């Protein structure tokens, strides 16, 4: 009976650690996805600003006669 209890405790600890690792992996994946989304958003913003700057520069040149 003592062995069964010991086994059950070890099994419970194993399952707890497995759940903890899964939760940590999920949190890490979410953080990475958020970081990638923010980087992509920043890239889009930079591209839009670059296009606006280029458009403004072209429009500011006097037209050739």
**9-65: per-residue pLDDT in tens?**
999 999 999 999 999 999 999 999 999 999 999 998 888 887 776 666 556 655 555
Domain ranges for the chain, please list them: 1-51
DSSP for residue 61: S
Tokens 């405790």 sit on residue? 9
pLDDT of residue 54: 64
Q: What three-state secondary structure class fits 50?
A: helix
CA–CA distances in Å: residue 10 to residues 23, 34, 41, 48: 20, 36, 46, 57
Whether the CA torsion 8, 14, 17, 18 is positive or negative: it is: negative
- How many angstroms separate the CA atoms of 49 and 45, rounded? 6
pTM recorded for the entire structure:
0.60
């Amino acid at each position: 009976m003592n062995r069964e209890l010991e086994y059950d405790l070890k099994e419970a600890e194993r399952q707890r650690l497995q759940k903890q690792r899964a939760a940590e992996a999920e949190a890490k994946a979410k953080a990475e996805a958020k970081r990638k989304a923010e980087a992509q958003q920043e890239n889009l913003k930079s591209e839009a600003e670059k296009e606006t700057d280029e458009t403004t520069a072209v429009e500011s040149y006097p037209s050739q006669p």
